[in-house]
Structure 1
Amino acid sequence: MLTNLLPTLTATPLLAIGLTLAAYLVGSAVFIRLGKPSWLPAILIAALLLAAILALLGLPYATYQQGATWLTVLLGPATVALGMPLYQQLPHIHELWRPLAACLPIAAALAACYALGIAWLLGASPDILASIAAKSVTAPIAIGITEQLGGNVALLMGSLLVTGVLTIPFVSLAARLLRINDERIIGFALGLNGHAIGTVRAFDISPTAGAFASLGMSLTGIFTALLLPLAWRLVGIGAG
């Protein structure tokens, strides 16, 4: 019966949007119920739940993605809205602009290069390399970069999720090992490496950490969008 209804339900984006919002609400509730563990963010719970629902319904991902495009459009304005906490923290940002400017190119380049290096050593195809190259960039920018490189957006979204989820415990562990207590540095590292997921975690720490995470996420996106396609063409990956 449900199989017969699917074509009708998927004729509009309402099913995809409804499933996405329901999965996130349930994921958020479970996340709070578990005590907000850093290793299991709400978005990961929601993604796993949504994947299970799509599998049970037999709904192809391409069909779901087509309906969920309306939600993807909102990612741009949501990212721009992060400019408000940046404005509020301008005095603190001005204090650290030199070290931040020095570490950004190195960290952003490493964020792309280490993943590409590992994938290349494992024999990944050019299509896969193009799909994971922008895995540390916020989704609205990463999607555009991946399409320009000729990668697969679905694979990119998976790599974005994995990167964001793993960034949180790794940054926390590194901060403890290096005895870093400055919320500005921790927030910047979360945003630079973990894009929106890391930024959400940074706002849980403090508004200051969230603002610096927004800064790291934004600057990484700009830096990667400007230089990654150029470097891709110069290296000639996928030229054959």
Structure 2
Amino acid sequence: MMENIWWSLPLTLLVFFSMRRLAIKFKFPLLNPLLTSMAIIIPLLLITHIPYARYFAGSKILNDLLQPAVVALALPLYEQLHQIRARWKSIISICFIGSLVAMTSGTAIALWMGATPEIAASILPKSVTTPIAMAAAESIHGIPAISAVCVIFVGILGAALGHTILNILKITNKASRGLAIGNASHALGTARCIEEDFQEGAFSSLALVICGIITSLLAPFLFPLLLALFG
């Protein structure tokens, strides 16, 4: 087993919370704490020649907290249950259309630009959370590792720029904003929504779950169709 480094956890926490204070102070979209933290830690690991496995082992507790954090998303959902019951048809329709657009757009563009079917299959589930995306990509003969990278990229992009785009489009309804971000940017976008507004975070959590289910069910049927049309 590779030996961990004791300072990786304090370093991660120090960098993240420093970048979070910076983001709160300047309120610039690209100063997203996750993005800026990665921009600091990755070059540091490369300069010091520290393997990622050693760094990860030292801060593994943060990864272990991910599952209870996801379960905790059930609380805001429960508190918005009355609105969800009243709007469930619209919510399902929005998530279904959003999932189709997310899968179709990325895959079609990749194939149009000359990507191999394997790469296109890896891009298709980019807008759902990592475990679902990796499983969906594997089911259509994609590369799970590439899917994971795409998921992280899309999540950071949505967390950094999603609210700015919604503001430009003058979309102010909390439920609509939450569904849009959760649909496109999964857990990272949802975390940003929770920081902005409790109701927005609840609907983003809901979209995250529903879109994940829709994507995992439709991906095996949709990808061959897209391959025939754009391949």
Please say whether Structure 1 and Structure 2 have the same fold, judged by a TM-score greater than 0.5: yes
- Pair 1:227 & 2:202 matched: no
Q: Give 1:212's match in structure 2, choosing from 177, 184, 203.
A: 203
What is aligned with 1:115? 106
Q: Give 2:46's match in structure 1, choosing from 15, 32, 55.
A: 55
What is the RMSD computed on CA atoms of the aligned residues? 3.1
* Distance in 2 separating the partners of 1:146 and 1:73: 24
- Pair 1:30 & 2:19 matched: no
Q: Residues 111 and 193 of structure 1 are in contact (CA less than 8 Å); yes or no, is this contact kept in structure 2?
A: yes
TM norm structure 2: 0.81
Do the aligned partners of residues 65 and 185 (structure 1) sit closer, same or farther apart at CA in structure 2, a change above 3 Å counting?
Answer: same
Aligned positions of 1:35-50 closer than 5 A: 35-50=26-41
Deviation of 1:161 after TM superposition, in Å, equals 2.8
Deviation of 1:214 after TM superposition, in Å, equals 0.6
Q: Structure 2: which amino acid aligns with 1:122?
A: M
* Distance in 1 separating the partners of 2:180 and 2:62: 27
Report SS of the residue matched to 2:214.
helix
- Pair 1:159 & 2:159 matched: no
Aligned positions of 1:133-148 closer than 5 A: 133-148=124-139
**Structure 1, 62-71 or 145-154: larger mean CA deviation:** 62-71
* Distance in 1 separating the partners of 2:150 and 2:163: 18
* Distance in 1 separating the partners of 2:207 and 2:186: 8
Sequence identity, in percent? 32
Deviation of 1:208 after TM superposition, in Å, equals 0.7
What is aligned with 2:178? 187
Q: Residues 44 and 161 of structure 1 are in contact (CA less than 8 Å); yes or no, is this contact kept in structure 2?
A: no
* Distance in 1 separating the partners of 2:145 and 2:62: 15
Q: Residues 4 and 57 of structure 2 are in contact (CA less than 8 Å); yes or no, is this contact kept in structure 1?
A: no
TM norm structure 1: 0.78
Do the aligned partners of residues 236 and 180 (structure 1) sit closer, same or farther apart at CA in structure 2, a change above 3 Å counting?
Answer: closer
What is aligned with 1:196? 187
- Pair 1:77 & 2:68 matched: yes
Do the aligned partners of residues 150 and 24 (structure 1) sit closer, same or farther apart at CA in structure 2, a change above 3 Å counting?
Answer: farther
